[in-house]
Amino acid sequence: MKEHFLAEYRAFAGNGGGSARFPAWLKSLREQAIARYDVKTLAFVDAVTIPQHEASFITVDPKTMIAYSMDRFGGDALLRYDVRRGWKQLTPVRMSQFVDRVQGGDVVGGGVWLSTDDDANTLYRVALPGGRVDALGNAGHLDGEGEGVDATKLGNGRLHVLTVDVAFTPVWMGNLAVAGTDGKAK
Q: What is the mean pLDDT of residues 13-24?
A: 50
Q: Containing domain of residue 8, as a range?
A: 4-176
58 inside domain: yes
Residue 139's Cβ-count burial label (10 Å; 0-12, 13-18, 19+) is buried
Q: What percent of the chain lies above the pLDDT cut of 70?
A: 69
CATH number, residue 13: 2.120.10.30
In a domain, 19, yes or no: yes
- Total domains in the fold of the chain: 1
Pairwise CA distance, residues 58 & 50, whole Å? 11
Q: Specify if 73 maps to a domain.
A: yes
Degrees, nearest 5: CA angle 57-61-64: 140
**Residue 138 domain flag:** yes
Residue 67 lies in a domain: yes
Is 186 part of a structural domain of the chain? no
Averaged pLDDT of the chain: 77
**Residue 184 placed within a domain:** no
- In sequence order, the 6+-apart residues with CB closer than 8 A to the CB of 174 are 139, 140, 141, 159, 160, 161, 163
68 versus 138: the higher-pLDDT residue is 68
Is 146 a member of any domain? Answer: yes
pLDDT at 7 (0 to 100): 36
- What mean pLDDT comes out for the span 14-19? 47
Spatial separation of the C-alpha atoms in residues 96 and 147, rounded to whole Å:
23
What DSSP element (H or E) covers 104? strand 102-108
Instruction: Please tell me whether the overall predicted TM-score, pTM, comes out greater than 0.85 for this model.
Output: no
DSSP assignment string, 127-182: ETTT--EEEEEE-S--SSEEEEEE---BTTBSEEEEEE-TTSSS-EEEEE--B-TT
pLDDT score of 93 = 98
| DSSP structure string for 111-138 | EEEEEE-STT-EEEEEETTT--EEEEEE
The answer to whether 77 and 96 are in contact (CB under 8 A) is no
